[in-house]
Amino acid sequence: MSGELADAKREAERARARLAATVGELSQRLKPATLASNAWEGVKDKSGELADDAVQAVKGRPVAVSAALAAFTLFLARAPIKSAIVGLFADEEEDKPPAAAKPRRKDKPQDKPTPKSAAPRRRTKAVEGASA
């Protein structure tokens, strides 16, 4: 009986040692620095693969990629392009004589909106029982 008990104690000690080693390994794996390092390595691997795939796609369809890149560039540069074109046409219009404007009719007075302060005030009835 004592031999079986000693064997069980030794087996329990080995199990305890294996459990302690497993806990130590898990605590090392779950440290924030280790997790961040593993995540960064994964991102670098994936980004390298994506870059290789992108290069292969560009090599496969250079015309389509060039057209898409040109369209994207035009989209980003739309404001400077618009101002340059407007500037070109504005210079041409300055050289031309101004078009004849319609003469205003002076016999009809123009209606101008009156400011609120100039509008006549309405009288209100005094409230009964109110002291003046």
pLDDT at 67: 94
pLDDT at 95 over 90: no
Task: Tell me 1's DSSP state.
Answer: -
Across 80-105, average pLDDT: 70
Query: What is the separation of C-alpha 126 from the centre of its chain, rounded to a whole number of angstroms?
Result: 60
pLDDT at 28 over 80: yes
Sign of CA dihedral 44, 46, 47, 48: positive
How far apart, in whole angstroms, are the C-alpha atoms of residue 96 and residue 93? 5
Q: Which amino acid, 47? A: S
Is the model more confident about 1 or about 39? Answer: 39
* Mean model confidence pLDDT for the chain: 81
pLDDT at 59: 93
Determine the structural domain holding residue 72 and report its residue range: 62-96
Which of 48-52, 81-85, 111-115 is the least confident region? Answer: 111-115
Q: Which amino acid, 97? A: P
Q: Are residues 43 and 75 in the same domain?
A: no
Instruction: Tell me the per-residue pLDDT of 97-116, one tens digit each, with 9 for 90 and over.
Output: 555 555 555 655 555 555 56
pLDDT at 88: 86
Q: Cβ atoms within 10 A of the Cβ of 86, count?
A: 10
Across 21-35, average pLDDT: 91
3-state helix, strand, coil in the chain (%, to 5): 70, 0, 30
Across 56-71, average pLDDT: 93
How far apart, in whole angstroms, are the C-alpha atoms of residue 36 and residue 20? 24
Which of residues 16, 44, 60 is at a domain's end? 60
Q: Are residues 53 and 71 in the same domain?
A: no
Q: Are residues 47 and 12 in the same domain?
A: yes
Residue whose entry in the numeric block shows the structure tokens 């400011």: 115
pLDDT at 91: 63
Task: Tell me 78's DSSP state.
Answer: H
How far apart, in whole angstroms, are the C-alpha atoms of residue 118 and residue 89? 46
Q: Give the total number of structural domains in the chain.
A: 2
